[in-house]
Structure 1
Amino acid sequence: RAQGELEKAARAQGFKHIAFQFEPIAAALDYEQKVAREELALIVDMGGGTSDFSVVRVSPERARSTDRKGDILANRGIHIGGTDFDRLLSIAHVMPELGYLTPTKDGKRNLPASYFIDLATWQRINLV
């Protein structure tokens, strides 16, 4: 459905020739131009909320083919992506340098964590 809507929008803008490619193949196209023989490539796509990993066959000969479905040899994803990874990395390594998990002056509790979590989360930075 999404592809159909995208094609419809492109046609409405005057595009005549519209072709779609599987995302792991599209990501490998630039690298594939540099290979001299057939290789297996690990394609990593870290999005905002997911990370996808694909093993793709690339070669100078395969680069000319329009049907590349058979070149995607394995594909798996996890529900942690660039945004999540960045936030977790920031909380673990940057926020402690700014006072995260630091005890209050009286030593009875830690500084409120929510400010540090917001600062490490791009869409919540404006709340700090």
Structure 2
Amino acid sequence: MNLRQLEYFVAVAEERKITTAAKRLNITQPPLSYEVSALEKELGVKLFVRRPRGVDLTDAGRVLYARATTILGLTESAAREVADVGLGREGTLAIGIISSSGGQVPNDRMRALAKDYPRVSLVLNEGNT
């Protein structure tokens, strides 16, 4: 089971039609059907009941749908968090200051930084020159 298969499965489960799900995913119907069948074969269960006008989830399909949406959500969240850290929008910024800068810290720029980047922690370390 891989993330692409889970994305395909979720699209079919939500659209309830393979052709509509294929359009949503910007792929053709045969590879989508193949991946869904491969997922069913790997898991050893039927995930959908095929009907003349679409598909319905089986009990196993409903369980997988709940897990798959959680997994895909966590994957998106992890990618976003990693990108935010890499771009400096999340993490810790440590600044060294001297005791005589007491009237200058915190200043308007630090307040603006805290407002614009709420997931960046600002740590001030006071030391001697």
Q: TM-score, normalised by structure 2?
A: 0.32
Q: TM-score, normalised by structure 1?
A: 0.32
Larger radius of gyration: 2
